[in-house]
């Protein structure tokens, strides 16, 4: 069962996403700020990480960059999952190594398809 780490300070939204992912057979781990997310990513080594960009303590860009620049975690696919929809925001996401960028509000089938795609691509 693939494990997905959701790092988002919007607890209600994160819980809705968690329930949807669990209904599709995923194990879900949660963190509610950037520092907690970075620690959980390193200790739990999930199969995929969903990161909000705007979070307390450390933003998603920083967390993504730190993980992607560490060979122990660089192969974990990361989806930036955020309300920031400007092209500049997407470019920053690409620069820090995000594998995908999904804007909120999102269509659940789009999110699930992207997760499946990232989990099944060769490393």
pLDDT at 122: 62
Low-confidence ranges of the chain (pLDDT < 70): 122-123
pLDDT at 53: 92
Q: How far is CA 50 from CA 19, 82, 83, in A?
A: 14, 10, 13
Residues written for the chain: 123
Each residue of 79-96: pLDDT tens digit? 998 887 777 888 888 899
pLDDT at 10: 92
Cβ distance 6 to 38 under 8 Å? no
Q: How far apart are CA 4 and CA 100, in angstroms?
A: 14
pLDDT at 105: 83
Q: Which residues is 6 bridged to in the sheet?
A: 30, 50
| Residue pointed to by tokens 């999952």 | 81
pLDDT at 123: 54
Cβ distance 80 to 101 under 8 Å? yes
Q: How far apart are CA 64 and CA 76, in angstroms?
A: 10
Q: Domain 3-118: which topology?
A: Rossmann fold (3.40.50)
């Amino acid at each position: 069962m693939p494990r997905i780490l959701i790092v988002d300070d919007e607890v209600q939204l994160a819980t809705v996403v968690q329930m949807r992912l669990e209904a599709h057979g995923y194990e879900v781990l949660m963190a509610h700020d950037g520092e907690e997310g970075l620690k959980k990513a390193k200790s739990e080594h999930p199969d995929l990480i969903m990161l909000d960009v705007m979070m307390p303590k450390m933003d998603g860009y920083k967390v993504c960059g730190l993980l992607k620049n560490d060979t122990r975690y660089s192969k974990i696919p990361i989806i930036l999952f955020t309300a920031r929809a400007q092209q500049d925001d997407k470019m920053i996401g690409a620069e820090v190594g995000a594998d995908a960028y999904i804007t909120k509000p999102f269509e659940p089938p789009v999110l699930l398809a992207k997760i499946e795609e990232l989990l099944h691509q060769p490393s």
